[in-house]
Structure 1
Amino acid sequence: MEPWGKRMWRDVSSELFDNEGLDTLFSHARNMLTCAAIIAAGLYAAHHMGPQAALSLPNAHIAGYIVAGFGVAMLGLNLLDGLRRLAKRRHPLLLRALAIFVYVVLSVRLTQVIVYFRSAV
């Protein structure tokens, strides 16, 4: 009988390398980063516009919120796609709940970091 650790490593490596799990993971990470940048750009436009920019674009705040909303919608679609893929592979519900938690936390933190760096410049 094969040891538990070896069997788990074989299953994980098969899932990542043979079943294109790593490509999917990097694709979702890239999409999450792109969506976080879109959300950050929208929030920056909505909250950090200077007086000269506000004069030239009177609806910049509204446009910023629309852009941020678009980014949130894309982020939600990316999350749903990832959950659908996890459900197809019959991963446990706990793994899906953990994926949602990690995805939301990383998305919020990425958005905060991007807004922070943009504000510092």
Structure 2
Amino acid sequence: MRELFRATGVRLLDQDGLKDLFDHVRNLLMATVIIAAGSHVIKQAVSIELLGVLYDEFAGYVVLAIGALLAVLNALNGLHRLNKQQWHMGIRIAVIVLYVVATVRLIQFVVAFRTG
């Protein structure tokens, strides 16, 4: 057990794992902000005037799709890096579930913060 903690510490501190983790979280945060912006435009399409754009709601869906694509690409990048670590399949599945739940909650938080 002690060796597992030591190996994890080496991965995080000596092999730039911590930097990669913070980069991943930053990318996730940016993707969720983009998704929240798109969903806000869709929800408030009637009251928003986007510089004469005729289809505000369509623009919101495009922004939402771009944010979702960025979140998926970020998740795939994280899974690829996780597979390189060769951890147990249960840990990988738990990380995927945690990632999806955290992304949805973060989107809800940003939308609530934006409208509040």
Counterpart check, 1:57 vs 2:49: no
Q: TM-score, normalised by structure 1?
A: 0.87
Aligned partner letter, 1:104? V
Counterpart check, 1:8 vs 2:1: no
SS of the aligned residue for 1:53 comes to: coil
Q: CA deviation at 1:50?
A: 4.2
In structure 1, the gaps of 5 or more residues are: none
- Cα distance in 2 for residues equivalent to 1:33 and 1:16: 21
How many residue pairs are counted as aligned between the two chains?
116
User: Residue by residue, what CA displacement relative to the aligned partner does 1:49-85 show, whole Å, maximum 9, x if unpaired?
Assistant: 343638x433111110110111000100000011011
User: Residue by residue, what CA displacement relative to the aligned partner does 1:65-117 show, whole Å, maximum 9, x if unpaired?
Assistant: 11011100010000001101111121121121111111111111111111111
Match of 2:38 in 1: 42
Aligned partner letter, 1:59? Y
User: What is the RMSD computed on CA atoms of the aligned residues?
Assistant: 1.8
Alignment match of 1:105 (pick from 81, 101, 104) = 101
Stretches (4+) displaced over 6 A: none
- Cα distance in 2 for residues equivalent to 1:52 and 1:87: 44
Match of 1:21 in 2: 17
Alignment match of 2:74 (pick from 78, 86, 89) = 78
Q: Percent identity?
A: 36
- Cα distance in 2 for residues equivalent to 1:61 and 1:86: 37
Q: TM-score, normalised by structure 2?
A: 0.91
Match of 2:27 in 1: 31
- The answer as to whether partners of 2:42 and 2:60 remain within 8 angstroms in 1 is yes
